[in-house]
């Protein structure tokens, strides 16, 4: 599903170049459930943003489902992102003045789906994350865990092949984190490839594979005997 060959990424300012990814080789197969771990500044978000076509890279090749994702126009990038990728952020990124269902439905609005169908689909996806009864609530009327579940429903409504999540439980307490991880597990069991960034061992332990990043390089790759 995802193949990264010698991916390098540097940020240049007028006087310096900071190399953040220093040659990443990584293959993630369809249906995997993987965690990316590493200390702060090791390049986890940079790597995830490249996989999510939110950011470009300097050197190497990124193949997503066999398509080379490189030097795309904004339109092409948006096309592949909409076709393939769901993205979940640590801070949920919900629109505060929109209800739960309107937030979930938002990607369909951009796809010009009519309002009735948008609402029906949003309700179905809210149901999948256990929040059907909260559809009319605004984000600030929901707990952190509920807000993240709304964000997950929003990421799934376009039926992505890959779900990427950058520290999705980073703002949640451990009980709520486990509820959110349960949803990722269910999503994965439906055949969607799930890749999440975390620095929490107990969260990574719920994934089937752990990729460790250090100073812009992969330093470890372990496949769990059985994910809990
Ligand atoms: P992590 O998610 O593992 O904490 P990041 O991928 O966010 O790490 O960042 C890796 C390094 O790249 C950090 O040193 C960070 O300061 C730097 N960095 C990230 N984004 C930018 C940017 N837009 N411009 C310059 N440096 C950046
Ligand atoms: Mg980060």
Whether 207 has a pLDDT exceeding 80, the answer reads yes
Tens-place pLDDT, residues 117-128: 999 999 999 999
Q: Provide the pLDDT for residue 13.
A: 84
pLDDT at 80 over 80: yes
- Could you tell me the two tokens for 171? 């703002």
Angle, CA of 172, 153 and 62, to the nearest 5°:
90
Give residues (CB < 6 A) around ligand 1. Answer: 11, 18, 20, 38, 40-46
Q: Where residue 64 falls among pLDDT bands split at 50, 70, 90?
A: very high
Which residue's CA is the nearest one to ligand 1's atom 24? Answer: 11
224 band by pLDDT with thresholds 50, 70 and 90? confident
CA distance to 33, 172, 174, 189, 214, per residue, from 40 (Å): 22, 18, 20, 30, 9
Q: Between the CA of residue 20 and those of 59, 155, 192, 213, 218, what are the distances in Å?
A: 12, 27, 28, 11, 12
- Distance (Å, rounded) from C-alpha 148 to C-alpha 198? 15
pLDDT given for residue 226 in this prediction: 60
Q: Would you state the CATH architecture of domain 35-42+77-223?
A: 3-Layer(aba) Sandwich (3.40)
Contact 102, 134 (CB under 8 A): no
State the distance from the centre of ligand 1 to the C-alpha of 176, rounded, in angstroms. 28
CA 209 to chain centre: 16
Query: How far is the centre of ligand 1, averaged over its atoms, from the C-alpha of 161 (Å)?
Result: 26
CB atoms within 10 A of CB 181: 22
Of 101, 107, 174, 105, give the one whose Cα is nearest residue 142: 101
What is residue 228's predicted lDDT score, i.e. its pLDDT? 53
Q: What's the CA gap between 159 and 156, in Å, rounded?
A: 5
Ligand in nearest proximity to the CA of 38: 1
Is residue 123 a contact partner of residue 157, using CB atoms and an 8 Å limit? Answer: no
Residue whose Cα lies nearest atom 13 of ligand 1: it is 41
Residues with CB under 5 A from ligand 2 (ion): 44-45
Mutate to test the pocket of ligand 1, among 7, 19, 37, 43 (most ligand atoms within 8 A of CB): 43
Mean pLDDT, all residues of the chain: 95
For 97-107, the pLDDT digits (tens) are: 999 999 999 99
Instruction: Break the chain into its structural domains and give their ranges.
Output: 35-42+77-223
Protein residue with its CA nearest to atom 21 in ligand 1: 11
Say what angle helices 144-156 and 174-189 make with each other, to 10 degrees: 20
Cβ atoms of 171 and 91 within 8 Å: the answer is yes
**For residue 197, what are the contacts with CB-CB under 8 A and spacing of at least 6?**
35, 36, 37, 44, 45, 48, 165, 166, 167
């Amino acid at each position: 599903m995802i193949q990264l060959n010698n991916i390098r990424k540097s940020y240049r300012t007028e006087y310096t170049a900071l190399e953040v990814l220093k040659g990443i080789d990584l293959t993630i197969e369809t249906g995997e459930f993987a965690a990316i771990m590493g200390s702060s500044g090791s390049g986890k978000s940079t790597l995830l943003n490249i996989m999510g076509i939110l950011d470009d890279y300097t050197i190497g090749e990124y193949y997503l489902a066999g398509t080379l994702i490189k030097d795309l126009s904004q339109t092409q990038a948006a096309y592949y992102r909409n076709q393939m990728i769901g993205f979940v952020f640590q801070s949920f990124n919900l629109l505060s003045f929109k209800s739960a269902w309107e937030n979930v439905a938002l990607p369909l609005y951009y796809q010009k789906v009519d309002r009735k169908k948008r609402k029906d689909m949003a309700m179905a996806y809210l149901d999948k994350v256990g929040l059907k009864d909260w559809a009319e609530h605004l984000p600030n009327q929901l707990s952190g865990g509920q807000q993240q579940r709304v964000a997950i429903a929003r990421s799934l409504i376009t039926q992505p092949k890959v779900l990427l999540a950058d520290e999705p439980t980073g703002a949640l307490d451990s009980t709520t984190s486990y509820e959110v991880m349960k949803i990722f597990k269910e999503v994965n069991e439906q055949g969607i490839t799930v890749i999440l960034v975390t620095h929490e061992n107990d969260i990574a332990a719920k994934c089937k594979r752990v990729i460790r990043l250090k100073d812009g390089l992969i330093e470890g790759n372990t496949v769990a005997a059985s994910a809990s």
